[in-house]
Amino acid sequence: MPNKKMKKVKKHTFRFSNQTIDVDKSVSKRIIAFAVLIGAVFLIVFCRLVYLQVFSYDDYVEKKDDYTSILQYTSAPRGQIYDCKGRVLAKTVVSHNIVFTSPNNMTTEDYLIYANRIASVFDINLDDFSLQTKKEAYIAWKNLLDPDDKEYAGNNFLTEKERVAYVNGVWGSNAESKKYSILMSRISEDDLKEMNDEELKTYIIYSRMIANLSTGQESVILEDVSDEDVAYLVEHKTEFPGFDVDFGGWKREYPYGETLSDVLGRVSTSTEGLPAESKDHYLSKGYQLNAPVGVSGLEYQYNDILAGTEEISKITYDSNGLAIKEIVQSARKGNDIVISIDIDLQQTMDDTVKNVLQANAGTRNRENFKSLFMCMMDPNNGSLLALSGYQIDLETKQMTYFASGNYVSLANPGSCIKGATVYMGLSEGVVSPGETIMDETMNINGEEFGSFEDHGPVNDVSALEVSSNVYMFHIAIRLGGDTYKEGQPLNIADVQGTFNTMRRYYSMFGLGNKTGLDIPGEIPGYMGVVTSPGLLLNYSIGQLDMYTPVQLLQYASVIATDGKMYAPHFLEYAKEVGGDEIFDVYGKHLESELPTQNDQYLKRVQEGFRACVTSGNCGNALQDMEEPMAAKTGTAEVESVWTTANLVGFGPYDDPQVAFACVSPTSSVNNESVSDNICGSAVVGPVLDKYFELYPE
């Protein structure tokens, strides 16, 4: 068999081994990397958990508490107000209050149940609540009616136009406050009779319980409760969830009653909180809505000093929804202030003013005498020593204390300001020291002008002594660039300019301007708007512009101190409670000073004031005093029917230590039966006697 040649087959070799190794390596690396990544993530998570659980635990618990808690603010006890000799005029005393912090699971029905329980169990007298509080309770009662009821939320007290405006948002962001004001003005005491006494008590408590729901703040439900009520609540606390006794509560007392009541002012209660008229002012200073604050007078003026630092508590809730209180900032009592008033002198002045007004108001020739004011200060530094005022209802004879009338009421000064007129005439060179002018009736264009009686020849000093009108008329005419010609009209080219010059001089003595008294409400003077040439004559004798008694007091003080004008003030200094460290001193504040080149002219005015006393023209009381006094009377016509009698002065003449002003508006008729100046005859003497008894030379 023949040999067959075998076909050669090409051999192929497959190399799997190296590639397998490469793939294995690649997969292994990826697995390792992934494992490392997973491990790293777990490590990070583990570290983060350790950090959160161990190192930041307290921080996060605190944050959790912040998110679930409420800060509650409680006012500190208020600082006290003392007189210049350390007698307490405004006192802070302990008051146990029943307070309420709402649990977080209460319903409206719950609030009413517990409000009724409080009203039923505790001693509540409706007479202790203000009319405003009762009206608020009435509104709260109406708020629980069916919304479809026409009386719901007191809507029946709105007019149709007002209801539409309220519902449609026309009143904007002030809608609720505007509606509240309308309701408070229209709800009458007869409307309140729709509720019986028990209902009214319940809704008073209810309205106070819900007053601070939106803020979570503690609400004062009942103030100054008896020890028996305190003990009962403490023993039965579980029956009154959310209620507690505030043993650190306080209230304001004024030991001297009505004396200085309107000057010291008033503090809102814990249930009143911020007064509506000054709410924005206090909110801008960081006060809470429920904070008791100064509402008026010195309590308002120096509230920031007196108020102290509030207590801050953190409120959280337990599993039953009841509040848990933790104090985070303790309260610090407010600081005390000392004012310049001497309460002994003040009480004498009050008694004198009250008794004189009460005895003379409405009597023969004093039929329209219904108010009387007096004030005194140290002219050398502006410290107010005493100020008093009363008004009387001529029909009922009811007396009303009105010491603040010394800086919030106006009167025509009359001849009191002739001292400033003489100083002006001498300073402007229209009269000369010692120059004589005949005081006799003047005929100006057929109209007669004169003094109370013709005094004959008078100079600058004797014109003040006898209160010559004619001398002042000549000053005014000459100041206007004219001279008196019998029977001829006045020929004054620049009447307004002359008025401006006169007002500038009077203002140099404090007349017509706010004095800067450190109390809210002081008013400037009233400036007459008619500017005819004839009225220049009236103006020169105090028959046009009107001033406050305190402005007249400052005027007398400028004369007393050789031309120095100090701002009158109450505050002497403030000090830390319970200590002697003084941190705020008012000190005397020199506002202005008359030009020294005119000192000789002011000296002539001082001599005229002294002559008024020594001659008896300023009254027997001043003339008979052991201490030499200087003064000037003033009688101003009011509506041509009445006269206002005033008296200003200072003493002792050689070393003035006290200045005074007394104003008795419409205290006499304006005819031949005019009564004597009651300030000089009955008021100033007894008060000055008391001053010199307290402050002998």
Q: Quick one: 446 exposed, middle or buried, by C-beta within 10 A (0-12, 13-18, 19+)? A: exposed
What does the pLDDT read at residue 69? 63
Average pLDDT over residues 99-108: 88
| Token pair recorded at residue 416 | 């009191």
Q: Of the candidates 82, 186, 83, which has an alpha carbon nearest to the alpha carbon of residue 142?
A: 186
β-strands 81-82, 336-339: how paired?
A: parallel
Degrees to nearest 5, angle at CA 216 with 214 and 222? 105
Task: Report pLDDT digits (tens) over 173-227.
Answer: 888 889 999 999 999 999 999 999 999 999 999 999 998 887 777 888 998 889 8
Record the tokens describing residue 684, joined without a space: 């100033």
DSSP category for residue 183: H
String of DSSP letters for 348-399: HHHHHHHHHHHHHTTSTT-TT--EEEEEEE-TTT-BEEEEEEEEE-TTT--E
- The per-residue DSSP string of 535-588 comes to HHHHHHTT-SSBB-HHHHHHHHHHHHTTTEEEPPBSEEEEE-TTS--EEEE---
For 161, the 3-state DSSP assignment is helix
Under the banding of pLDDT at 50, 70 and 90, the label for residue 41 is: confident
Helices and strands (DSSP H and E) totals, the chain = 25, 24
Residue 613 has pLDDT above 70, yes or no: yes
Assess whether pLDDT exceeds 70 at residue 71.
yes
392 versus 29: the higher-pLDDT residue is 392
Does 605 score more than 90 pLDDT? yes
Q: Check: CB of residue 626 under 8 Å from CB of residue 696.
A: no
**Gap between the Cα atoms of 376 and 568, Å rounded:** 10
Bridge partners for 171 per DSSP: none
Averaged pLDDT score across all residues of the chain: 89
pLDDT more than 70, % of the chain: 92
Inter-helix orientation angle 533-540/495-508, to 10°: 20
pLDDT of residue 437: 97
User: What pLDDT, on a 0 to 100 scale, did the predictor assign at position 22?
Assistant: 62
Q: Is the pLDDT of residue 13 over 50?
A: no
Q: CB 576: neighbour CB atoms within 10 A?
A: 15
Segment 251-266 shows an average pLDDT of: 96
